[in-house]
Amino acid sequence: MSEQLEQMDKEYVLHTYARNYVNFKKGINATLFDENDKDYIDFTSGIAVCSVGHGNKRVADKIYEQISNITHISNLYCIEPQAKLAKRLKELSGYDIRTFFSNSGAEANEGAIKIARKYGETKFENKRYKVITLEHSFHGRTITTVKATGQSSMHTPNFAPYPDGFSYHNKIDDIYNSIDNETVAVMIELVQGEGGVQPFDKKEIQELAKFLKENDILLIIDEVQTGVFRTGEFLASNLYEIEPDIVTLAKGLGGGVPIGAIMTTHKDIFSPGDHGSTFGGNYLVTAAALEVLDILEEVKDSGVLDETIIYFNAKLNEIYEKNREIFTDNVGLGLMRGLRVKDADTLALVIKTAFEYGVLVLKAGKNTLRLLPALTISKEEINEGFKRLENALDKIKQG
């Protein structure tokens, strides 16, 4: 891409990411085109965001129709697509819930923690406020959600002091021992995404959920990455057959527009003034999300999503088996997949070489190659993407 654009980016944008310099101009489903019309198969979908692919015409038309009329009013007035979306989330989840709309995953988790804190304040004799999380989790980048994130490398003194009341533990079993009479909630992902695409055992989660319910401790499931059909069901919580108190969503819900959701069975926990958001749940994002859900429900109900999951994972397993000198494990659920790479340097080389060969893949944790394709990815795109990845791996093996 042009030297000029790269310089502009470096000069004027804060340096919070190790950027790849490519200038994408157009996308069709899981295929991206740069300014020279070179095409890339996208196995990242913008980190599980573009759930219905790039350039989706139905979503684009819906957004255009909506913003030609109203883009935004404020939450002081009823917003028709917001009410419809909240109803839809209740139906799709199968839970008896109400929803608040935020603008991101971190903000959704922040709101979930506020719900837990209010529950802990109003429901018990003593104030319960502690939230337990897990090592290798990821819950966001605000000061509070960074503190909730179970990665010590993120708790840098640069941003201290952090809020009190958070602790993280190595494994599910350790949660039981760390609960005391000030514990109000446990917050976990069912498949740790950023931490390395690590799914938890279903039985273990069900036992934890049962124990927490019996002890009146809230279970918050962070489905910012696993939600909206990523694991094959609408929620990973549905797949695990649990009934959490709070579920948060974001990434895949809007197909690219910024939207998050906090869904809770504690339907009357908040009163007017307790929480709010200027942009949250506005006409633009909720109209887009409704269309995204229409598309994804069709893909799910027609059986196509389940077929895509089987097909993608068969191809992935082929590449895994053929390259056991590079990959040490094959992990994940649905279209949230990871291949553990023998070491971090090799992983960096795989991602870089794959990019050169025209396929986009991600990193998770220290040594996991992560794949999060659009849920609408076609067989042709899957075939082409894995062919390119294979070529990249061959190149690496030749040294």
Ligand X SMILES: *Cc1c(COP(=O)(O)O)cnc(C)c1O
Q: Which of 106, 187, 246, 287 binds ligand X (CB under 6 A)?
A: 106
Regarding 136 and contact with ligand X (CB under 6 A), the answer is: no
Nearer to ligand X, 102 or 323 (CB): 102
From residue 51 to residue 90, what is the string marking binding to ligand X with x (rule CB under 6 A)?
----------------------------------------
Taking alpha carbons only, the member of 375, 378, 349, 343 closest to residue 361 is 349
Radius of gyration of the chain (CA): 21
Q: Which is nearer to ligand X, 141 or 169 (CB)?
A: 141
Site string for ligand X, 146-185 (x = CB under 6 A): ----------------------------------------
Q: Is 225 in the site for ligand X (CB under 6 A)?
A: yes
CB nearer to ligand X: pick between 235 and 326: 235
Gap between the Cα atoms of 249 and 171, Å rounded: 23
Q: Determine, following the binding rule CB under 6 A, whether residue 337 of this chain makes contact with ligand X.
A: no
Give the number of residues in contact with ligand X, rule: CB under 6 A: 16
- Under the binding rule (CB under 6 A), the answer on residue 45 touching ligand X is no
Of 134 and 354, CB closest to ligand X: 134
The correct pick among 250, 289, 316, 393 for binding ligand X (CB under 6 A) is: 250
The window from 13-21, 62-70, 101-109, 295-303 that contacts ligand X (CB under 6 A) reads: 101-109
| Residue 180 C-beta: closest distance to ligand X, Å | 25
Question: How remote is the C-alpha of 318 from its chain's centroid?
Answer: 26
Work out whether 194 is an interface residue with ligand X (CB under 6 A): yes
Choose one: 23-31, 187-195, 287-295, 347-355; the region binding ligand X (CB under 6 A): 187-195
Give the relative orientation of helices 379-398 and 344-356 as an angle to the nearest 10 degrees.
120
Instruction: Rule CB under 6 A: choose which of 62, 88, 117, 139 binds ligand X.
Output: 139
- Nearest-CB residue for ligand X: 105
- Cβ atoms of residues 195 and 151 within 8 Å: yes
Nearest to 84 by CA among 322, 292, 238, 312: 292
The residues that touch ligand X, with contacts defined as CB under 6 A, are 104-106, 109, 138-141, 189, 193-194, 222, 224-225, 250-251
